[in-house]
Amino acid sequence: MRCVRRLYSVSMVRVRIAPSPTGDPHVGTAYIALMNLIFARQREGKFVLRIEDTDRTRFVETSERMIYEALRWLGLEWDEGPDVGGPFAPYRQSERTALYRERAEQLLAAGSAYRCFCTAAELEDMRRRQMAAHLPPRYDRRCRALPPAEAARRAAAGEACVVRLAVPLAGATTFRDELRGEITFEHANVDDQVLLKSDGYPTYHLANVVDDHEMQISDVIRAEEWISSTPKHVLLYQAFGWALPRFWHMPLLRNRDKSKISKRKNPVSLIYYRQAGFLPAALVNFLGLMGGGMPAPSAEAKEVERFTLADMIAQFQFERISLGGPVFDLEKLKWLNGVYLRALSPEEFFRAVRANVVPDEYLRAVCPLVQERIETLAQFFDWADFLFRDEVLPAAEVLIPKQRDLAATRKAMEALAAALESADWNKEALDSALRALADEIGWSAKEVFMLARAILTGKKASPPLLESLVVFGRARSLDRLRRCLAAFR
Give the one residue of 1, 120, 149, 157 binding RNA; rule: CB under 7 A.
120
Please tell me whether residue 61 binds RNA under the rule CB under 7 A: no
The binding track of 317-356 with respect to RNA, each residue x by CB under 7 A or -, is: ---x-xxxxxx-x-xx--x--xx--x--------------
CB of 245 to RNA, least distance (A): 17
Which 209-248 residues touch RNA, going by CB under 7 A?
224-229
Give the one residue of 33, 40, 162, 279 binding RNA; rule: CB under 7 A.
162
**Residues binding RNA: number (CB under 7 A):** 72
Which 277-316 residues touch RNA, going by CB under 7 A?
289-292, 296-297, 301-302, 304-305
Using the minimum distance from each CB to RNA, give the nearer residue, 309 or 412: 309
- Return the active site residues: 263
Please tell me whether residue 111 binds RNA under the rule CB under 7 A: no
Give the one residue of 66, 123, 344, 441 binding RNA; rule: CB under 7 A.
123
Using the minimum distance from each CB to RNA, give the nearer residue, 201 or 278: 201
CB of 42 to RNA, least distance (A): 17
The binding track of 353-372 with respect to RNA, each residue x by CB under 7 A or -, is: --------------------
CB of 333 to RNA, least distance (A): 8
Stretch that binds RNA, among 99-107, 249-257, 274-282, 410-418 (CB under 7 A): 249-257
Please tell me whether residue 90 binds RNA under the rule CB under 7 A: no
Using the minimum distance from each CB to RNA, give the nearer residue, 304 or 395: 304
CB of 63 to RNA, least distance (A): 11
Using the minimum distance from each CB to RNA, give the nearer residue, 119 or 238: 119
Question: Distance between CA atoms of 46 and 371, rounded to whole angstroms?
Answer: 52
Which 3-42 residues touch RNA, going by CB under 7 A?
18-20, 22
Question: Distance between CA atoms of 384 and 373, rounded to whole angstroms?
Answer: 10
Using the minimum distance from each CB to RNA, give the nearer residue, 133 or 145: 133
The binding track of 450-469 with respect to RNA, each residue x by CB under 7 A or -, is: --------------------
Which 388-447 residues touch RNA, going by CB under 7 A?
none
What SS3 string covers the chain? Answer: CHHHHHCCCCCCCEEEECCCCCCCCEHHHHHHHHHHHHHHHHCCCEEEECECCCCCCCCCCCHHHHHHHHHHHCCCCCCEECCCECCCCCCEHHHCHHHHHHHHHHHHHHCCEEEECCCHHHHHHHHHHHHHCCCCCCCCCHHHHCCHHHHHHHHHCCCCCEEEECCCCCCEEEEEECCCEEEEEEHHHCCCCEEECCCCCECHHHHHHHHHHHCCCCEEEEEHHHHHHHHHHHHHHHHHCCCCCEEEEECCCECCCCCECCCCCCCCEHHHHHHCCCCHHHHHHHHHHCCCCCCCCCCCCCHHHCCCHHHHHHHCCHHHCCCCCCECCHHHHHHHHHHHHHHCCHHHHHHHHHHHCCCHHHHHHHHHHHHHHCCCHHHHHHHHHHHCCCCCCCCHHHHCCCCCCHHHHHHHHHHHHHHHHHCCCCHHHHHHHHHHHHHHHCCCHHHHHHHHHHHHHCCCCCCCHHHHHHHHCHHHHHHHHHHHHHHCC
Using the minimum distance from each CB to RNA, give the nearer residue, 11 or 57: 57
Using the minimum distance from each CB to RNA, give the nearer residue, 204 or 307: 204
The answer to whether 195 touches 114, Cβ cutoff 8 Å, is no
Using the minimum distance from each CB to RNA, give the nearer residue, 324 or 359: 324
CB of 290 to RNA, least distance (A): 5
Q: For the CA atoms of 285, 337, 224, 139, what is the dihedral angle to 10 degrees? A: -140
Please tell me whether residue 55 binds RNA under the rule CB under 7 A: yes
Please tell me whether residue 48 binds RNA under the rule CB under 7 A: no
Which 170-199 residues touch RNA, going by CB under 7 A?
180, 183-186, 189, 191, 194, 197-199
